[in-house]
Structure 1
């Protein structure tokens, strides 16, 4: 039995299984970064090399809305069905190799998925002990406002740990933090205390209560793993320097002190280096304090070291007590949305756009939708050698609660212009009916008000205690910037991306853009060049919005939060790139006067 394994656990090796992890090291792999990720990843991770635990992250803000709509149609639905199909083969492989599986694929119905896993195990003849975690679903509590389909608290890893300590082979959860898929198994394996002391000091170590540092290290490792191949070269700014046609999924070798080595199975594609790990650390984070229900991890203490090919060590992470409140993700239907894209080709693009916009606005005068947005994308180029590259796109997006206004009125207005508008009139797709769109909001409740519950393999229900000590979340004072480069250096006007990497994403209606330098001199330049004012100049959409900048010197990075850029969240599709996935790459493509010594 592996160190830290519960009695009767299958974590020891079985005949013919790959070699187990070395004592004192827990190998946790990831096989899914979202609902729809590479289907074969679960099998590949189980057969590619030794593992102790395999996780799968299936949930995102948009996913919860999709599952909520599924549940409206069928109360027994609400979980990620793909996971079950992956298990048809993977369950036997995991059993043979003694690998436990931990996943949040339970979504809105973890009990339903747990029952389905048991039925599958019986059908394929694999004896497994299945447990699940619940209590995150707060919809029945009420008071969330009109039209809310889902209301789920982000739980920590304590429920997962309780299930594993009770001997579970498969643990299914609902909405937990992505990092909880790692903190739970690590706490169970190493015996970390997830409740902590009853005060912010400790007789043994007044500055570092309980196992907070170790938990914080596991949170950082979990954040790196959670998006799958984004840690192994996927969506990576410097992808041209590596072969990422089929990147392998990541794994973390976690030690008892919470330090970890991020790596991947031997022979798999992609790359793990300081750049890929830095990019993922910056993804969907903000300032120095990265708060969660188990611990608040200090990102400004993270140290990264390349300790071998495709091996990056994470160490030095400090932890603080978690905040007293849990985040609750709310998804509701916001109304109906329709979109029509007019193609404008050749000469007089601006005049063509003015004409059709005016015609549509006139037609809608009596039944104008509540929200009307026009965007002209100048994708055309002069003297183009294809019709497509000679064309620009004029996008009309409307929103309203009335299906006739969004559908018939708008679509009819566009269709009736077909022979009486600008020369070359056509659209990218026939106008149709409006479709529902979602709105994401965040609320907060005291952790003590959430019935975090572990349902063990034998059916016993165990209440999961909340941390005894919490600390209100406050910003960390900005660190001093590094010494700037000498003044007067010769510069060249080139894209920012020649010297910095970036990764961006969404958090509700806010966008996050992390930018990092690849050298110490690059960091000295970046920290002084890319201020909030400069960011607004380079990203005009942000000029009227609140932009917050955080310096992370140990990562040679600046992390920006652009509040409200994404409107009401990804499901509302408020902009061309509704999740801000490419916002960082747009920033890298903007030109700046960069010192030649960096080039």
Structure 2
């Protein structure tokens, strides 16, 4: 799993049900790889499919995963590539233990004490009212599914027992990559530093082509054709846990320090990244160019995993709908004021008390002296959510009058097993056990930079107003109800300004300026000095998260460029430096 690209020692990654099935074939045929990993069970499609699966109306797997295997199986068989998916004439195993519905179902808890919220130990955080919305019902609320996020040990056990293809339930995104490196290098389960390095490698390649140019904030500085079909990433993991991130030759996209920094900052949990087998300490990460489309990542430390792991619970939270209206030209603000009042007027008071969420989100600002009707048009997004369909429909009916929705679970509760398919009716199962020890969760670091005397002097020099994106790149994403946002500068001389300027209070002000701030939110901030990056976690801003967030950007993916479009003040002498863009 390490070495150069002409050596068959690499892990390739696939992810997401939306990725074309042929990408698995491309990863298997464009160069030598030892392992192909695929992550097809994102929270959003689990949420979308759980109820249909429970009713027997869904096959229980993603079609693109199966299609990819069918296209690639002959190559997999010939090369003996290890795969986590479906297969044929090879030794096949499946991993179980993630489904905890029988343990915690069939209904949702009736109190906050029955299941601990994932952020429940954070004493600084006040969870919002929608976090426990299922407690609002006087009737039992059916639990549709409950899946724990498993680590790598079950996959490792399967590989050691000779499996060629392993089908997994819900494992953490990076777990298959950790397992491949753990197995290949014969690491111990307490080799936390090495496992932590593999965790970061898995994090870097787990999201399609993100680390090879997809969703890259700096794409506009290169020919746009380079990003039309970026190749999927590869990770070459050394025995010490450090890695090289690369891609197959002759594929588009790119792998450089900036694309890797961008993906590193994506969906982080502050400066400690948690997995069921290891906790990775990220403060001293080093990301450096090692050749064309080759980036070395090192400096990761690790310690024992926490005693809990993430448990994704889905329940029927009711119904939701959105109405998208547009208005043009003069008096737009007053028009939207009137629409809000009219809708409220036509919804009965007893119905309003049953509506959980009713938001009027104004999108866009009419252009001054517009040159076209399009530039003068803005939108109003009306979002409504309620337990009953009738309550949601009341908002739709009001429009007719006017117009002619995570928890944590103890790892010891999970019975994870690796299961081998020996025949049509014969399955042999082995328990994969639990981590040898745990490290209790502790409050993560959160701090602002203490400026040096030189930085204080610099801050008092003449300043120039520019957009934040003109000097810094970034990435953002979601973790349930929480949004994370990382920024980095490509010029090291700009780092003192970034770490001083982008404080927690500054972030709060930048959000509050657009009425998006709520006092129940909490901001955590850490720094990664060796890659010139600051990172924020904004707790609670996404409501219930994923499919139940009422925000227009419910996954938080566009938040980074929204913040980068804001105007900031930068010492003029810094902008005089070469290549500040």
Q: Same fold (TM over 0.5)?
A: yes
Deviation, structure 1 residue 260: 0.8
Match of 2:171 in 1: 176
1:5-28 deviation digits (Å, cap 9, x = unpaired) = xxxxxxxxxxxxx9642xxxx300
2:565 to 569, 589, 599: 589
Q: Does 1:394 align with 2:377?
A: no
Contact 2:346/2:401, CA 8 A, preserved across alignment: no
Residue pair 2:11, 2:235 contacting (<8 A) in 1 also: yes
Where does 1:519-598 land on structure 2 (aligned, <5 Å)? 519-540=491-512, 541-542=516-517, 544=519, 545-596=521-572, 597-598=574-575
Q: Give 1:40 shift.
A: 2.2
Map 1:137-216; keep pairs closer than 5 Å: 137-142=99-104, 144-145=108-109, 146-194=141-189, 196=190, 211-216=191-196
1:14-45, Cα deviation, whole Å (9 max, x unpaired): xxxx9642xxxx3000122x121233211111
Q: Which of residues 95, 98, 113 is equivalent to 1:136?
A: 98
Deviation at 1:386, TM superposition (A): 2.8
> For residues 221-255 of structure 1, what are the alpha-carbon distances to aligned partners after superposition, in whole Å with 9 as ceiling and x for unaligned?
00001112110111111011232111110000111
For 1:401 and 1:538, the matched residues in 2 are separated by: 34
Q: Are the aligned partners of 2:147 and 2:312 in contact in 1 as well (CA < 8 Å)? A: yes
Pick from 328, 336, 340 the counterpart of residue 319 of structure 2. Answer: 336
Aligned in 2, Cα 1:443/1:477: closer, same or farther, shift over 3 Å? Answer: closer
What is the alpha-carbon distance in structure 2 between the residues aligned to residue 140 and residue 519 of structure 1? 53
Q: What SS class does the counterpart of residue 40 from structure 2 fall into? A: coil
1:52 aligns with 2:20: no
State the distance in 1 between where 2:60 and 2:314 align.
14
- 5 Å-filtered alignment, 1:255-270, equals 255-270=238-253
Count residues with an aligned counterpart.
522
Which of 387, 405, 408 in structure 2 is aligned with 1:443? 408
Matched, 1:62 2:44: yes
Alignment of 1:60-459 (within 5 A): 60-74=42-56, 77-103=59-85, 117=86, 121=88, 127-142=89-104, 144-145=108-109, 146-194=141-189, 196=190, 211-242=191-222, 243-366=226-349, 367-368=351-352, 369-370=354-355, 371-407=357-393, 409-419=394-404, 439=405, 441-445=406-410, 447-458=411-422, 459=427
In structure 1, runs of 5+ residues without a counterpart are 4-17, 104-116, 122-126, 197-210, 420-438
Distance 1:359 1:132 in 2: 56
- Displacement after TM superposition at 1:392 (Å): 1.6
Instruction: Point out the more displaced range, 541-550 or 259-268.
Output: 541-550
Which digits, 9 at most, give the CA deviation of each residue in 1:357-399, with x for residues without a partner?
Answer: 2222111135335132112223421332332222121221222
- The answer (yes or no) to whether the contact 2:524–2:536 under 8 Å persists in 1 is yes
Q: Once the 2 structures are TM-superposed, how far is the Cα of residue 50 of structure 1 from its aligned partner?
A: 0.9
Separation in 2, partners of 1:384, 1:282: 38
Q: What is the Cα deviation at residue 404 of structure 1? A: 2.0
Q: CA deviation at 1:405?
A: 2.4
| Structure 1 residues 428-507: aligned runs within 5 Å | 439=405, 441-445=406-410, 447-458=411-422, 459-475=427-443, 483=452, 485=455, 486-487=457-458, 488-507=460-479
Tell me if structure 2 keeps the 8 A contact 1:286–1:560. Answer: no
Q: 1:287, 1:417 → 2: CA distance?
A: 47
Q: 1:498 to 1:543 in 2, by over 3 A?
A: farther
Compute the displacement of 1:351 (Å): 1.6
The alpha-carbon deviation at position 473 of structure 1 amounts to 2.1
Evaluate the alpha carbon distance shift between residue 564 and residue 221 of structure 1 in structure 2; reply closer, same or farther with a 3 A threshold.
Answer: same
Structure 2 CA distance for partners of 1:350 and 1:477, relative to 1, 3 Å: closer
Deviates more, 1:392-401 or 1:140-149: 140-149
User: Which of these residues, 11, 18, 21, is aligned with residue 39 of structure 1?
Assistant: 21
Q: Which aligned segments of 4 or more residues in structure 1 are displaced greater than 6 angstroms?
A: none
1:166 & 1:76 partners in 2: Cα distance?
31
Cα distance, 1:87 vs. partner? 1.4
Give the structure-2-normalised TM-score. Answer: 0.86
Classify 1:379/1:95 alpha carbon distance in 2 versus 1 (closer, same or farther; 3 Å): farther
Partner residue of 1:199?
none
CA distance in 2, matches of 1:357, 1:326: 43
Whether the 8 Å CA contact 1:286–1:550 is kept in 2: the answer is no
List per-residue Cα deviations over 1:137-173 (Å, max 9, x = no partner). Answer: 1011025433322211111111111111122111110
Kept in 2: contact 1:237–1:503 (CA 8 A): yes
Is the CA contact 1:168–1:457 (under 8 Å) kept in the aligned structure 2?
A: no
Q: CA RMSD of the aligned region, Å?
A: 2.0
Superposition TM-score, scaled by structure 1 size: 0.83
Contact preservation (8 Å) 2:22, 2:71: no
Task: Name the CA distance, whole Å, in 1 between partners of 2:20 and 2:495.
Answer: 35
Deviation (angstroms), 1:93: 1.8
| More off after superposition, 137-146 vs 240-249 | 137-146
Contact kept in structure 1, 2:308 and 2:408, CA below 8 Å: no
User: Deviations along 1:439-497, whole A, 9 cap, x unmatched?
Assistant: 3x22222x222101111354321111211121112245568657463424332100011
Deviation at 1:47, TM superposition (A): 1.4
Assess if the C-alpha contact under 8 Å between 1:149 and 1:333 holds in 2. yes
Residue-by-residue CA offset, 1:251-302 (whole Å, 9 max, x unaligned):
0011111111000000111111111111111111122211111111111132
